[in-house]
Amino acid sequence: MRRQADSGGAANQLPDTLTELAVRVQRLSPSHRDPESFHEEKSEIVAALHQLASEEKIAPGGSGSFPGKKDAGNAAARFGYTKTI
């Protein structure tokens, strides 16, 4: 039950999409029974993150660059994470 990122780049869906991707990363683990599935899932997550990044670059109000380390804590707080980098 994986949702595709909205191609419209709606800002209100970005936190939900990032949260979903974070959950998928948390669940990601290699399996000796099916090692290929780990790499497939990893590739799907990477592709989704790249798509989000490219949409954010062209979206109105998008800065066109990623926040620096200084801004990482602020970005994490906006998405509900309390632990800062």
- Mark 38-65 as b/e (b = at least 16 C-beta within 10 Å): eeebeeebeebeeebeebbeebeeeeee
Q: Is residue 15 pLDDT above 90, yes or no? A: no
pLDDT band per the 50, 70, 90 thresholds, residue 61: low
Amino acid at the residue 42: K
Q: Is residue 18 pLDDT above 70, yes or no? A: yes
The answer to whether residue 64 sits within a structural domain is: yes
Residue 73 domain boundaries: 11-78
Q: How many domains does the chain have?
A: 1
Please tell me whether residue 33 adopts helix, strand or coil conformation: coil
The answer to whether residue 70 sits within a structural domain is: yes
The answer to whether residue 1 sits within a structural domain is: no
Q: Residue 40's pLDDT is what?
A: 95
Compute the residue count for the chain.
85
How many CB atoms are located within 10 Å of the residue 83 CB? 7
d(CA 27, CA 45): 12
The answer to whether residue 85 sits within a structural domain is: no
Q: Is the pTM of this model over 0.85?
A: no
The answer to whether residue 28 sits within a structural domain is: yes
